[in-house]
Amino acid sequence: MEEDVKQSLIKQFNLPEETIRIPRPRRIFLEISREKFKEVFDFSVKELKFAILLTITGLDEQERFGVIYHLARETGAILNIKTSIPRDNPTLKTITPDFSNADIYERELMDLFGIKVEGLPPGNRYPLSDHWPNDQYPLRKDWKQEGVTFEQPREKQDVSEKSGGDQNA
């Protein structure tokens, strides 16, 4: 079954064999260029019936960001389509027209990697809170905790003076 999926993709898009891996039953991994991504994605969802979006994973791969779309079929197989975008211009188009649940996974890419997802309807950020300064992307490999100044909620002197209990900064 996985082999059939592989052959369909190879045939349809003239892909080299090495771009598609089947490490074990029900798991297929595919790497595709950004230019070919949309058509491969649409084909996989509509023709090959990988119509369940599990999640979207971002990866910091130095000069580029990898983005993996994990798609499943009713019968249990998962097709993992990976594409990559340049670090100095990390933009993606939203897939929310096809998968409304992609919203939250795409916002995660924005908050944690600084990837710009175009076409998302207005909404709340996820998962970082408003305390986070705008240019901090924690899941980037070069991000360090020490460099961050959080917006302070309020003065804390009142609290410690009043109660005189154990206080540890």
Instruction: Using CB under 8 A, list all residues that contact other proteins.
Output: 23-24, 26-27, 29, 52-55, 57, 59, 68, 70, 72, 74-78, 80, 99-101, 103-105, 112, 124-132, 138-139, 145, 148, 150, 153-154, 156, 158-160, 162-169
Contact 81, 30 (CB under 8 A): yes
Beta-carbon contacts of residue 124 (< 8 Å; ≥ 6 apart): 107
Place of tokens 């609290």: 159
Q: Which is nearer to other proteins, 88 or 130 (CB)?
A: 130
Contact 28, 80 (CB under 8 A): yes
Min separation Cβ 121 and other proteins, Å: 12
Q: Which is nearer to other proteins, 40 or 58 (CB)?
A: 58
Min separation Cβ 19 and other proteins, Å: 15
Min separation Cβ 141 and other proteins, Å: 8
Q: Which is nearer to other proteins, 33 or 160 (CB)?
A: 160
Return the sign of the alpha-carbon dihedral for residues 109, 113, 117, 122. Answer: positive
CA–CA gap between residue 42 and residue 169 (Å, rounded) = 53
